[in-house]
Amino acid sequence: MPQHASPPASPYRLFDVALKDKTPLSAHLWRFTFEGPEVGQMATLAPDQRIKIFFPDPQGRPPAMAITPDWYARYKKQDVETRPPMRTYTIRALRAAAGEVDVDFVLHGETGPASTWATRAQPGERLQLMAPNAAFEGDGGGYEWKPPRGLQRLLLIADETALPAVAGILEELAALPAPPETQLFIEVPDQDDEIPLATWPGLAAEWMARNLGAPGALMIAAAQRAVVPSAARAAPALAEVDVDEGILWDVSAAGDAGFYGWVAGEAAAVLAIRRLLITERKVDKASLNLMGYWREGRVLD
C-alpha cells in the first residue's frame, strides 16, 4: 500500500495549561507559572518570544478551543462578544521537560480581561496558550531579538510591558564571553517596580519611575540622552504610522555589527523615539527594532 506522508507540523499550536502558581516580583509585576503535559511540546526561540494567551470569555467560561490545525479560523468566526479574549505576552522561562512555562504579567487593576483575570486567578484555573511548536522543523518567528554577530554596543529602551523580554535578553548577554557595552533604560510605574537583572561591567542601567507621569515620557527623554552613532548617509524618509489604527513594528535589517537598538513599550512613545533616533539623531534605521507593545487607551489584540 502507498505510504502517505504526515502533514508538516505547524510553527505554532494551541496548548491547554493550568495555573500552578503566581509570585510577586515587584509592585506591579507578577510571575505566573503554567503547567500541563502538552507544555513538553512547546518551544521558545529567543528571549523576547511572543505568545498569545486566551482568557475566559465575558461569561467567565475558560477557553476551550479544539486543538486542531484550523483553530484560528474557527476562533475568528466566533462572535467577538463571546469568544475568549486574546492578548500577547512573552515567555519568560520554559521548562519543557517539567511541563512548566513562566509568563510575567503587569497588573494594573481590573481594567481589562487579562489584568482582571490575573488579579483574581487562583492555582488550578485553566487557560489556553498559542506558542511555538517544538515539532516544527524551522524558525517559526514571533521574536525580534536578532542582534548582529560581533555586536559591540547595544541600546535597550523599554517600559514595564517589555521588562520580561529585557530580563531574558540580559541573561543571554551576561552568559557571553564578552558582552557588549550596553545602555539600558527601563520606565516602570513606580520605584517599587525595580527587579534584579543580570549585569556585567559594561552594562549601564537606569530605572525610571514615572509615578503619575504620562506613559512613555521617560522613555523619550532617555532616547534623547542616549549615546548613539550617527549614520554616514542621510536618514531615509520615514513612513507614517498611525498608532491608533495600526501597530508600529519596525525591525532591524542586520545593520552594522557595531551598534544595535531594541526599543519596546507604549506605541506613541516608541513612535516619538523612532523620529528622534532616525530623523534627528541620524541612527541607521537598519540597526533598530522599534516596537509598539501597547497603546494607551486601545486594545491591540
Q: Hey, what's the torsion of the CAs at 85, 68, 36, 293, to 10 degrees?
A: -40
* Cα(205)–Cα(191) distance, integer angstroms: 14
Cβ atoms of residues 265 and 216 within 8 Å: yes
Please identify which residue in the block is written with the cell numbers 510553527. 11
Q: For the chain, which residues score pLDDT lower than 50?
A: 1-5
Q: What residue ranges of the chain are covered by domains with CATH 2.40.30.10?
A: 12-132
Sheet holding 153-159, edge to edge: 203-209, 181-188, 153-159, 259-266, 288-294, 249-250
Neighbours of 152 (CB within 10 A): 14
12-132 maps to which CATH number? 2.40.30.10
Instruction: Tell me the pTM.
Output: 0.93
* Cα(99)–Cα(96) distance, integer angstroms: 5
| Structure confidence by residue, pLDDT tens digits, 214-255 | 999 999 999 999 999 987 666 667 888 988 888 999 998 865
Cβ atoms of residues 172 and 262 within 8 Å: no
Q: What residue ranges of the chain are covered by domains with CATH 3.40.50.80?
A: 153-294
Tell me the CATH class for 153-294. Answer: alpha beta
Tell me the Cα Rg of the chain. 20
Q: Angle 267-274/217-225 helices, nearest 10 degrees? A: 20
Q: Which helix (H) or strand (E) holds 214?
A: none
Per-residue confidence (pLDDT) for residue 4, from 0 to 100: 45
* Cα(13)–Cα(134) distance, integer angstroms: 9
- The maximal CA–CA distance of the chain, rounded, in angstroms, is 71
Q: For CA atoms 36, 37, 38, 43, give the dihedral sign.
A: positive
Per-residue confidence (pLDDT) for residue 7, from 0 to 100: 61
* Cα(171)–Cα(199) distance, integer angstroms: 8
* Cα(295)–Cα(65) distance, integer angstroms: 28
* Cα(202)–Cα(131) distance, integer angstroms: 34
Per-residue confidence (pLDDT) for residue 301, from 0 to 100: 59
Per-residue confidence (pLDDT) for residue 62, from 0 to 100: 93
Per-residue confidence (pLDDT) for residue 300, from 0 to 100: 59
* Cα(257)–Cα(192) distance, integer angstroms: 36
Cβ atoms of residues 153 and 115 within 8 Å: no
Per-residue confidence (pLDDT) for residue 233, from 0 to 100: 66
Per-residue confidence (pLDDT) for residue 237, from 0 to 100: 77
| Structure confidence by residue, pLDDT tens digits, 50-94 | 999 999 998 889 999 988 888 888 888 888 888 899 999 999 999
189 burial class (0-12, 13-18, 19+ CB within 10 angstroms)?
buried
